[in-house]
Amino acid sequence: MPTGAASGPSRDCPLCPRLVGLRLSLREQHPAWFNAPVPSFGDPAARLVIVGLAPGLNGANRTGRPFTGDYAGDLLYRTLLKLGLATGEYRADPQDSLTLVGCLITNAVRCLPPANKPLPEEIAACRPFLTGQLDALPSARAIVALGRIAHESVVRSRGGRLKDYPFGHGAPHTLPGGLRLFDSYHCSRYNTNTGRLTETMFVEVMTAARDFALA
Ligand code: URA
């Protein structure tokens, strides 16, 4: 396990040369941006964990908080506020008053990948941080995986075999160790624009996960 797996990667994590190269060039182009592995955000007593894919260029990679500053975050944080899983105001800025209540957001990959597509070896290199994060949440009961990559990394991080856990929007699974996993299509602009994911579908799966986690 890499150093700091429980607490997350260091700002200069060296594990993925391609992602380090992108990080260094963005630090030159945009010195005021965060440009580093993005830490988890939320409640250390979380009963519900939301696992995204990876930071977006103008979202988490710029602001330093998962899903903060991009389209996917608008839908995610609006839904969390609607379901009572967040309080305060989301203003797409880590300095806003948004607080997560009983939930925590993390990513399968902590660094910005080119074209939002991490390579299999990058997903694998970052998995110990996901494992460390999940292990550090003793109250967690349920996980929402946003998209197939998050789903597969969560299954592997819990020691499951992918063939026993087929990804499907709305599909609940019980993972080795007992956590309940709810799958959702990723709340990206692409998926909502193409109609693969509607806001109603997203709210439904998040409601099911919340109700299980808080019961
Ligand atoms: N921002 C994140 O932090 N994760 C995603 O999966 C998408 C946007």
Nearest Cα residue to atom 1 of ligand 1: 67
Q: What's the pLDDT at 159?
A: 97
Whether 67 is in the pocket of ligand 1, judged by its Cβ within 6 Å, is yes
Domains of the chain by residue range: 39-214
Please choose, from the candidates 4, 96, 19, 48, the residue with its C-alpha nearest in 3D space to the C-alpha of residue 205.
Answer: 48
- Return d(Cα 141, Cα 63) in angstroms, integer: 29
- Return d(Cα 79, Cα 96) in angstroms, integer: 17
Q: What's the pLDDT at 97?
A: 98
Closest ligand 1 atom to Cα of 107: 4
- Return d(Cα 181, Cα 159) in angstroms, integer: 13
According to DSSP, the β-strands at 172-174 and 180-184 are: antiparallel
Please choose, from the candidates 50, 192, 163, 177, the residue with its C-alpha nearest in 3D space to the C-alpha of residue 108.
Answer: 50
- Return d(Cα 8, Cα 86) in angstroms, integer: 23
Q: What's the pLDDT at 4?
A: 55
* Residue 136 CB burial class (10 angstroms; 0-12, 13-18, ≥19): middle
Q: If the chain, 215 residues long, is cut into consecutive pieces of 10 residues, what is the mean pLDDT of each piece?
A: 69 98 98 98 97 98 98 97 98 98 98 97 98 97 98 98 98 96 97 97 98 97
Whether 113 is in the pocket of ligand 1, judged by its Cβ within 6 Å, is no
Q: How far is the CA of 165 from the centre of ligand 1 (A)?
A: 23
Q: How far is the CA of 40 from the centre of ligand 1 (A)?
A: 11
Q: How far is the CA of 86 from the centre of ligand 1 (A)?
A: 17
Closest ligand 1 atom to Cα of 150: 6
Write the CATH number of the domain with boundaries 39-214.
Answer: 3.40.470.10
